[in-house]
Amino acid sequence: MSPLSASCPALLCCHQNITYPGRPSQNLVKAVCDNYRALNLHVPEEQAVPHLPPWRIPSLDVTFTPITKDAPPILQKQAALETIASVSASIPEAHHIYVDGSVQAHGSSACAVYSTTMPHPAQEGWIGRRLPNSSASTFCELHGILDAVSLLVRRSLNGVVVCDSQSALHSLSSPTPSYGRVAQDILRHLALPHDASLAIAFVWTPSHIGLSGNETVDRLAKAACTLDWDGTHADPSLLCLRHTIYSAAHASTVHSRNAERANIVSKQHHDHFLQCRHE
C-alpha cells in the first residue's frame, strides 16, 4: 500500500471533530484533513509497476513535426501533413489513427480514438472511453494511445498513431515516465507487434491547426466525457489525485485573487505580478 493511501485514512480519523485551542498548527492540520475529506477521493492502493525485461522493450518510432507553434497555422498544417505522409510511406498499408484526451472544467475526463482508414473500428468510426474524474490531460492522452495501439495489435494491422501531446509521447520513451502504469501497458502492447513484425509509428502534430483528423477526435474526446464510467477500465492515477488535492488547496486563494482582479485598474499588470516569483 502506498504511503499516501496508508496515511490519509489515519489522518482523517485522528483529526475529525477535534479542535485544539491555542494550537494553530494542529488546527491547520485539521483544516487540511477536513478539506481532503470533503473532496470524497478514493486513493487506490499503489502497486509496483511491472516492467518489461530490457530485451523485450521495443524501440519506439516517434516523429515530431518539425515546426514550432509560433509558426502560422497554415504552415503548421502543411508540415503536419507532410510528416504524416513521410512516416506512412515507410510503413506498408499503414492505417491512420488519431487520438486525443479531454478534461472538462467540471472534472469529467475521457479519451477517444478515430480513424477513417481502418475498417470499422466501431459502428461510427470512433471509440470513446470515460476516465476517472479530474484526470490529468497527459494521463488521458496516454490512454487514447493505449486504445489505438491495442486496436492495431488485435487486428494485426500496421498503423500511424497521430497525437497532439508532446508530453504523452515523451513519457513513452522516458526511463521514469510520469504515468508509469499506462506507459508500461502501452510498451507491453508494442512488444507484441514487434514480435509479429507489425509496424506501429507515432507522429506528433500541433493542435488546432485545421487538421481534419485531429479536429474530429478532439470533438469526440469532449463528447466521450458525457459517457458513463464504470470504474473498471482505468485506475485513478496518484498524480491526478495529487493535482486535484493541490487545486482544492489553492481554490480559496485563486478565488480571492480573481475577485481582486475584477477591481484592479490594470488587469494586465495584476496578471503579470501574479506570474512573477518574488522573494
C-alpha cell belonging to residue 98: 488519431
Q: Please tell me the distance from the alpha carbon of residue 141 to that of residue 30, in angstroms, as a whole number.
A: 36
Residue found under cell 518489461: 52
54-236 belongs to which CATH class? alpha beta
What pTM did the predictor assign? Answer: 0.71
Q: Which percentage of the chain shows pLDDT scores above 70?
A: 60
User: What is the mean pLDDT of the segment spanning 40-59?
Assistant: 69
State yes or no: pLDDT of 3 exceeds 60. no
DSSP designation for 56: G
Q: What is the pLDDT of residues 148-183, one digit of tens each?
A: 999 999 889 999 999 999 999 998 888 777 777 888
Beta-carbon neighbour count of residue 131 at 10 Å?
28
Beta-ladder partners of 110: 102, 130
Report pLDDT for 1.
Answer: 42
Do 240 and 135 touch, CB atoms closer than 8 A?
yes
State pLDDT tens for residues 231-251. Answer: 655 655 555 556 656 665 655
Lowest mean pLDDT among 97-101, 195-199, 252-256, 268-272: 268-272
> Angle 7-33-102 (CA atoms, 0-180°, nearest 5)?
85
What residue segments make up the domains of the chain, in order of their start? 3-45+239-271, 54-236
Q: How far is CA 210 from CA 40, 158, 206, in A?
A: 40, 25, 10
Q: Is residue 165 classed exposed, middle or buried when 0-12, 13-18 and 19+ CB atoms within 10 A define those classes?
A: buried
